[in-house]
Amino acid sequence: MDYKMDQLRNVVLLGHGSCGKTSLSEAMLFDTGATTRLGTIENKNTVSDYDEEEQARGFSVNTSVLPCEWRQHKINVLDAPGYTDFVGEVKTAIRAADGAIVVVCAASGVEVGTELHWSFLEEELAHRLVFINKMDRDNANFANVLEELRTKFDKTFVPVVLPIGSQSMFSGVIDLIEMKAYLDSKGEGTAIPAGMQEQAEEARVEMMEYAAEVDDELMMKYLDGEELTNDEIRAALAQGMAEGKLVPVLAGSATKNLGIIRLLDAIIDFMPKPSAVERRAVNVATGESEVIEQDPAGPLVAQIFKTLADPFVGKLSYFRVFSGTIQSDSRVMNVNKNEEERLGQLFSVRGKEQTPVPQVRAGDIGAVAKLTVTTTGDTLGDRGAPYRMPGVVYPEPLYAVAIFPKTQADLDKMSAGLARLVDEDPTLRVERNAETGETILSGMGDSHIQLAVRRLAQKFGVEVDTDLPKIPYRETITKTAQAQGRHKKQTGGRGQFGDVYCRFEPLERGAGFEFVSEIFGGSVPKQYVPAVEKGIREAMMEGVIAGYPTVDFRCALYDGSSHPVDSSELAFKLAAHLAFRNAIPQAGPVLLEPVYKIRVTVPEEFMGDIMGDLNTRRAQILGMEQSRGTGIITALVPLAEIQRYATDLRSMTQGRGIYTMEFSHYDIVPAHLVDAIKAEAQRRAERANQG
């Protein structure tokens, strides 16, 4: 079917891990006829979690695109991972969507992952509704979760359904707009149970009051005692959602397939058509941000929101078309790279299923294989009217490993494999640490890195070992010292002679290195002064404590002598080495370590445990906040103490804690730790020499 713009809905499923998003998407596909069976995660046969890693782990690690049809509309459902290691997938899925369904477990309530995803929505999307899932689970409580939502988030939450019973007694939902009960998955309404009639009427009145507040005319009608029509209620709720004034709340059980039809109806009734969501893009010609008109006949603006290495078709790029129409077997411009990209066959995707299509219009989602220059986040457009969509801002990596190729063949392929891995997942970072000489792979957590390493082997044929990265310690001095460096060597012909006097002074932290010449009168000829500086720069790369680079000091060359025949650049460079080695031990050398600022977000009940743990990690607590049942701790912590904090925090909080970290500064290592660091550096040096 060829869908018009107002017949499209793009919604992303968000929520904490294990709240039932994948089960919900499976029920939606089944009820719309997109599938003929209700797959389960336990049976490893869901449409969404088709990846081997997902089936092995029992949770989503990729965003899946799951189109289905309902009431002559096409709904593109994006099932995003809930596990915090894969927040990059969440951010890109939000960009591709026009509205969000925030899924909350009826037993667990609002969890930290829910709050994290909610904060992402605040940055990008206004349209959202809440689906309280797992109403059949032990300890499920609709009223408690509703109250928790109202406590945690500064929004007006408006139930549009009521659950009938809960836990083992959950048997369906009451639609407060239609005032009918729905006791099965067929969507046929029946009379409301007698015992819930009064409760349903009270909830409907409350819903109408919220709806009337959105529109002045409806408010006057309501105050005059007139009943609002069902269509007026739906329109007002949709308007209130669009304006960010209210959030409709539904409930059900995905695994029992109860309440899903009401959710599908709510998507059509409340979620916006693509053109109703304002989208801005940068006009490359002017550099100005402009609102783009989402018109299938307009200039092409399509953004790649996901890249996947498919074993059968190669690199598969998922895109959302914001304007224009993209055609199979055509040529477009990669606006980010200013290069032409040739497109092959376009696809409509549902999980791993790919259906060829001739074109994808504005407001819709598609995929294309084997793009050559285009990566995740790039914009495809027309040559004549290029617009560039803003890039997705990803969180900073939290977990890093040093990677080493297992064989020479792996070494030869490693750079290319890592580059393709980062193309596929922009939340991964690869860098060569010049100070430690290691290749560092960074991501959002241990599972994220494990998955990346396995994909590196399976998809790109690169086997690597991983290890804890070396801490990039540095050395510096705390007081002024001076020394002579004299290099004299006679070998029977022309000798070597260089003689320098250098003064070493400490600088403030982060100042780096300065070299000054105070030579007057030519005791060190001018042509040899650069050689002295070069010698100091070479010597400072291996400090006197544990062989780490020496930083934040000034070297002043103030005297010396030369020989008319035997002096040379090499001799003065070697003399500078000696001056450094002679002076630095007298200058109060100390070891420096990198310190990071971390912001830990946990449920309030874990605040004490987290504070105690941070204190054992030599943390300096900067502040604590408590708001809506959540605690936030900000602290400065040495990197050596938090290299595996992602795993430790998850263990301490049953997976309910999250944190961010950013480099702050270098600080002096406490004296009682220096000997252990020196011993470890010596062991590494000995192993390297033996190797």
**pLDDT means over runs of 10, the chain (691 residues):** 91 95 96 92 85 76 95 97 91 97 97 90 93 98 97 95 97 97 88 96 96 93 91 96 96 97 97 95 93 94 90 84 97 95 97 96 97 94 91 90 94 91 89 90 93 90 94 96 94 85 96 94 92 98 94 97 93 97 97 96 92 97 88 96 92 86 95 93 76 54
What residues contact 550, with CB distance under 8 A and at least 6 apart? 474, 475, 476, 477, 540, 541, 543, 544, 584, 589
| Neighbour-count burial of 626, counting CB atoms closer than 10 A to its CB (0-12 exposed, 13-18 middle, 19+ buried) | exposed
The whole-angstrom separation of Cα 95 and Cα 117 is 13
Give the span between the Cα atoms of 23 and 579, in whole angstroms.
70
Assigned CATH class of 591-673: alpha beta
Which DSSP category does 477 fall into?
-
Yes or no: domain 280-388 corresponds to CATH 2.40.30.10: yes
Assigned CATH for 399-470: 3.30.70.870
533: helix, strand or coil: helix
Query: Could you identify the residue written with the tokens 């139930």?
Result: 159
Position 122, amino acid: E
Same fold, 399-470 and 591-673: yes
Q: 């804890």: which residue's tokens?
A: 468
Q: Comparing C-alpha atoms, which of 347, 308, 350, 367 is closest to residue 47?
A: 350
Cα–Cα dist 76/96, whole Å: 10
- Sign of the CA dihedral running 173, 71, 346, 95: negative
Q: Which residue is associated with the tokens 């590494």? A: 684
Under DSSP, is residue 207 helix (H, G, I), strand (E, B) or coil?
helix
What's the CATH superfamily of 5-191+245-276? P-loop containing nucleotide triphosphate hydrolases (3.40.50.300)
What are the backbone dihedrals phi and psi of residue 442, each rounded to the nearest 5 degrees, phi first?
-120, 145
What global pTM score does this model have? Answer: 0.86
Q: What is the pLDDT of residue 313?
A: 67
Comparing CA positions, the residue from 358, 148, 172 lying closest to residue 261 is 172
Parallel, antiparallel or unpaired: strands 346-350 and 365-369: antiparallel
- Fold designation for 475-588: Ribosomal Protein S5; domain 2 (3.30.230)
Give the number of residues written for the chain: 691
Q: What is the CA radius of gyration of the chain?
A: 32
List the chain domain ranges.
Answer: 5-191+245-276, 280-388, 399-470, 475-588, 591-673
